Amino acid sequence: MHASTMVSALELVGLYVFATSGALMAIQKGFDVVGIVVLALLTALGGGIVRDVVIGTAPPAAFRDVVYLIIPLAAAVVTFFAHPLVRRLSFPVLVFDAAGLGLFCVTGTLQALDHGLGPVQAILLGVVTAVGGGVLRDITARETPALVRVETDLYAIPAAAGATVVALAYRAELPMPVVATCAAVAVFLFRIIAMVRHWTAPTAITYRNP
């Protein structure tokens, strides 16, 4: 399989899994079918749309290629009818979600760099691409975003680490296909280990009043 074809296929898998997580949250919240579709679309496409708006790609990819809309809609329909089974597959879904996190943070960073953004801005946009949809999902569902909850296993930090590697390698003119693949795999493994070991981000130290 050609490298670009493989990346496109993995990106579509990531869209499907992110949409599934959004649809599941909507069902847990008791939303109707419209709410399920909205949360599925927001979760799958939100980060990418924000990225495209920031870098000036108009219209965003989600509105230029109908496949980007069909995949989340298909995930919403499947989840609507088969959500008891999907819930039992929660860990496999999290595994694919971790794969999507790794891929989207890498592709988001590369697109930002290709549009002339600096390394810091590109890293930020790579993280936004990876986690933005989940934040929009949680806000719409009236939840504190998992991104900022204390008990959440590391999510944005693996994405930021992968985006940083890609940005530095881009500046050093290293072979990007190899670097991008390795970075995506590293983010995936980082996220999986964080879930298994329940690693969380540090919190501020609380001092007692004398």
The residue extents of the domains of the chain are 3-197
pLDDT for 82-133, tens place per residue?
A: 878 766 766 777 777 788 888 889 888 988 998 899 999 999 999 999 999 8
| pLDDT grade for 168, boundaries at 50, 70 and 90 | very high
Residue 71 pLDDT > 50, yes or no?
Answer: yes
pLDDT for 24-44, tens place per residue?
A: 888 888 899 999 999 999 999
> What's the DSSP call for residue 204?
P
The answer to whether 99 and 25 have CB atoms below 8 angstroms apart is no
Using DSSP's 3-state secondary structure scheme, residue 202 falls into: coil
Q: Max CA-CA distance within the chain?
A: 66
The tokens describing 171, both together, are: 């500046």
DSSP string, 137-168: HHHHTT---GGG-TTSBS-HHHHHHHHHHHHH
